[in-house]
Amino acid sequence: MLELFVYGIVLGSIIALGAIGLTLVYGILRFANFAHGELMTAGAYVALFFVGTLLPRLGIPNDPLSPFSFGWRMVVAFPLAMAAVAAVAVLLDRVLYRKLRQKGSTAVMMAMSALGASLILRMIVLILWGGDYRSFFPGVLRPAVELPLGIKVRPDQILILAVATVLVVLLHLFLHHTKIGKAMRATADNMELARISGIRTERIIVWTWVIGGCLAAAGGVLYGIDVQIHPGMGWNFLLPLFAAAILGGIGKVYGALIGGLVIGVLQQLSTAWLLPTYKPAVAFIGMIVILLLRPQGIFGGKD
């Protein structure tokens, strides 16, 4: 049980990375990006391309950095995957979402176009890499270590938690201690007043997609390190991402973080009684129960 809780925290930290990006984009653009899960998928597959195809050709060795299951290839691929997905997210905004925004499209049209974008991204992954489950490092042994209280975890999982924590801390520092970060929060608060203050909000929107894309890619790669990747993974993440973001009060970064952890833990604990197939349903039932108790979300409501 305790072990499932720890696994839930690991899964929750991955969900949180996606949900934070989702909530940031929503906060600035009031737009539910249904393609956010696919950004996670894209991150995982870009990393797969680097660790499985490009970096081996460049002669970067594959020896795992003990005690982890991966080596230098992943260390190099990780930031590259983040950068690539940030570019994809910015591009998607440029060619699609921004055009619709400028035409004054309704929320429903925006959501449907995001749904379409998610299908396109998923199909591109499917065409390029096929539909199989893939591992970053097939055949590498992944022994678990035993922590106090008899909790067995893999060193990879501890690292996932550490990386997610570092990213969230970096995001916090960015949002509260840099000029662009503060301007981003100001834009989320009141875009018209931000423009009146001289903030070029189109640039802030680009920053938002960069950060959302980076965090989604990180989540996708970390998920791949934990288990396996497949083209439908982002789609499967979409419900938990939304559940986490809504649970935390949509638009609230720390809400999405806590929401992610709650959803991750709920999902993993449920496997003690239910088939893992029910995990997405558990995410939503958890969300509904908490929202019935606190309709504004855990952190929602007045500032």
Minimum distance from CB of 177 to other proteins (Å)?
A: 11
Q: What is the DSSP string of the chain?
A: -HHHHHHHHHHHHHHHHHHHHHHHHHHHH----TTHHHHHHHHHHHHHHIIIIIHHHTT------TTSS--HHHHHHHHHHHHHHHHHHHHHIIIIIHHHHHTT--HHHHHHHHHHHHHHHHHHHHHHH-SS-B-SSTT-----EEEGGGEEE-HHHHHHHHHHHHHHHHHHHHHHHSHHHHHHHHHHH-HHHHHHTT--HHHHHHHHHHHHHHHHHHHHHHHHHHS-B-TTHHHHHHHHHHHHHHHT-TT-HHHHHHHHHHHHHHHHHHTTTS-GGGHHHHHHHHHHHHHHH-TT-SS-S--
Taking the C-alpha atoms of residue 248 and residue 251, their distance in angstroms, rounded to an integer, is 8
Minimum distance from CB of 47 to other proteins (Å)?
A: 35
Kindly list the residues in this chain that would bind other proteins in the complex (CB under 8 A): 179, 182-183, 185-186, 188-190, 192-201, 302-303
Nearer to other proteins, 2 or 193 (CB): 193
Minimum distance from CB of 189 to other proteins (Å)?
A: 4
**Residues linked to residue 147 through DSSP beta bridges, in sequence order:** 151
Nearer to other proteins, 165 or 197 (CB): 197
Nearer to other proteins, 142 or 195 (CB): 195
Minimum distance from CB of 199 to other proteins (Å)?
A: 5
Nearer to other proteins, 165 or 190 (CB): 190
Minimum distance from CB of 172 to other proteins (Å)?
A: 15
Nearer to other proteins, 106 or 277 (CB): 106
Nearer to other proteins, 146 or 303 (CB): 303
Nearer to other proteins, 122 or 252 (CB): 252
Minimum distance from CB of 24 to other proteins (Å)?
A: 14
Taking the C-alpha atoms of residue 177 and residue 38, their distance in angstroms, rounded to an integer, is 30
Nearer to other proteins, 79 or 300 (CB): 300
Minimum distance from CB of 162 to other proteins (Å)?
A: 29
CA distances from 163 to 59, 102, 160, 167, 218 (A): 26, 37, 5, 6, 9
Minimum distance from CB of 297 to other proteins (Å)?
A: 15
The answer to whether 236 touches 280, Cβ cutoff 8 Å, is yes
